[in-house]
């Protein structure tokens, strides 16, 4: 009986446990001129922040939401500057957000994929990843 208990224990130790999905939250800040993104895995944030290239735009892209939502995958990225402050990512657009314009943040769910770095390094394409769009209005 002890023999089977060891086999069961070894089997359980070898199981792959997936990390829970990160809950990302957004809110306007700085008199609605910047977007605050919270809930990002701190390990990912620190690794990307140490990289010399600005990789934030490829991970948390901000877009204007078109009236025809079928066209939202074809919108240009909102240019701007990303800054990591403590555990918060702050995006400030090059041109201010337009009042009454709806925008969305697209972020990718990396749970179940090889790693976030596969996407950052171009080994995984957008079509291979699951994403969530978070909508906000200025």
Residue 73 predicted with pLDDT over 70:
yes
Residue 57 predicted with pLDDT over 70:
yes
Sequence-distant (6+) residues with CB within 8 A of 47 are 117
pLDDT band at 28 (very low <50, low <70, confident <90, very high): very high
pLDDT band at 13 (very low <50, low <70, confident <90, very high): very low
The pTM for the full model equals 0.69
H or E element, residue 120: helix 116-120
Q: How far apart are CA 108 and CA 132, in angstroms?
A: 6
Give me the mean pLDDT over the 126-137 stretch.
76
The domains of the chain are located at 24-137
Residue 79 predicted with pLDDT over 90:
yes
* Mean pLDDT computed over every residue of the chain: 76
pLDDT at 77: 93
Task: Provide the 8-state DSSP code for 79.
Answer: -
Q: Are 108 and 129 in contact (CB under 8 A)?
A: yes
Give me the mean pLDDT over the 113-118 stretch.
56
Q: Residues of the chain with pLDDT > 70: what percent?
A: 67
Q: Mapping DSSP to helix (H, G, I), strand (E, B) and coil, where does residue 62 land?
A: strand
Q: How far apart are CA 37 and CA 104, in angstroms?
A: 12
Q: How far apart are CA 12 and CA 14, in angstroms?
A: 5
| Closest-CA residue to 37 (of 48, 23, 49, 26) | 26
Specify the higher pLDDT residue, 137 or 14: 137
Q: Fold for domain 24-137?
A: Immunoglobulin-like (2.60.40)
């Amino acid at each position: 009986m002890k023999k089977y208990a060891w086999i069961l224990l070894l089997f359980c130790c070898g199981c792959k446990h997936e990390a829970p999905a990160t809950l990302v939250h957004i809110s306007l800040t700085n008199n609605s001129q910047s977007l605050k993104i919270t809930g990002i895995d701190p390990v990912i944030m620190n690794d990307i922040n140490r990289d010399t290239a600005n990789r934030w735009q490829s991970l948390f892209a901000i877009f204007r939401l078109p009236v025809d939502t079928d066209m939202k995958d074809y919108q240009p990225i909102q240019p701007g500057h990303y800054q990591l402050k403590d555990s918060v990512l702050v995006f400030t657009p090059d041109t201010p957000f337009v009042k009454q314009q709806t925008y969305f943040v697209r972020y990718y769910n990396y749970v179940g994929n090889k790693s976030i770095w596969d996407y950052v390094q171009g080994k995984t394409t957008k079509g291979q990843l699951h994403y969530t769009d978070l909508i906000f209005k200025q």
